[in-house]
């Protein structure tokens, strides 16, 4: 995933929710791209943390499943700006990062 967007954006990665939160607080990104399944917390919880500190950061969640219906509410409530099923669709991923993909 990082290789796909590195040519377009400065990409920073974190190995855990605390590390991601610390990195965002240290240097807020334009876009936060997160998996849903993060181990002890979910990507939804990470998006909540980031949106509370930095509401202007564009938040994109990768659900990791083909059924996005349960995640649509995250977009309609504004918690996520886009939700993707997977990283496999390169065009949708780039669109989401750029802000043109609506789910």
User: At 77, which CATH number?
Assistant: 3.40.50.2300
45 found inside a domain: yes
pLDDT at 22 over 60: yes
**Mean pLDDT score across all residues of the chain:** 81
Output the CA–CA distances (angstroms, integers) from residue 40 to 6, 17, 18, 89, in the order listed: 27, 8, 10, 27
Tens digit of pLDDT for each residue in 31-54?
A: 888 989 888 888 999 999 999 999
103 found inside a domain: no
pLDDT at 65 over 90: no
pLDDT of 25 reads 92
85 found inside a domain: yes
Tens digit of pLDDT for each residue in 72-95?
A: 889 999 999 889 888 776 677 777
Does the pTM exceed 0.85? no
The rounded distance, in Å, linking the Cα atoms of 50 and 9 is: 19
> How many other C-beta atoms are found inside a 10 Å radius of the C-beta of residue 49?
17
> CB of 15 within 8 A of CB of 23?
no
29 found inside a domain: yes
30 found inside a domain: yes
76 found inside a domain: yes
60 found inside a domain: yes
> CB of 54 within 8 A of CB of 81?
no
The rounded distance, in Å, linking the Cα atoms of 64 and 12 is: 20
Range of the domain at 49: 2-98
pLDDT of 66 reads 60
Q: What's the domain count of the chain?
A: 1
């Amino acid at each position: 995933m990082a290789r796909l967007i590195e040519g377009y954006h400065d990409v920073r990665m974190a190995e855990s929710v605390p590390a991601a939160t610390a990195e965002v607080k240290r240097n807020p990104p334009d876009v936060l791209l997160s998996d849903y399944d993060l181990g002890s917390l979910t990507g939804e919880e990470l998006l909540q943390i980031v949106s509370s500190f930095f509401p202007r950061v564009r938040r994109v969640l990768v659900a990791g499943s083909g059924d996005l219906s349960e995640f649509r509410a995250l977009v309609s409530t504004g918690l996520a700006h886009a939700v993707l099923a997977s990283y496999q669709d390169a065009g949708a991923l780039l669109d989401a990062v750029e802000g043109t993909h609506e789910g």
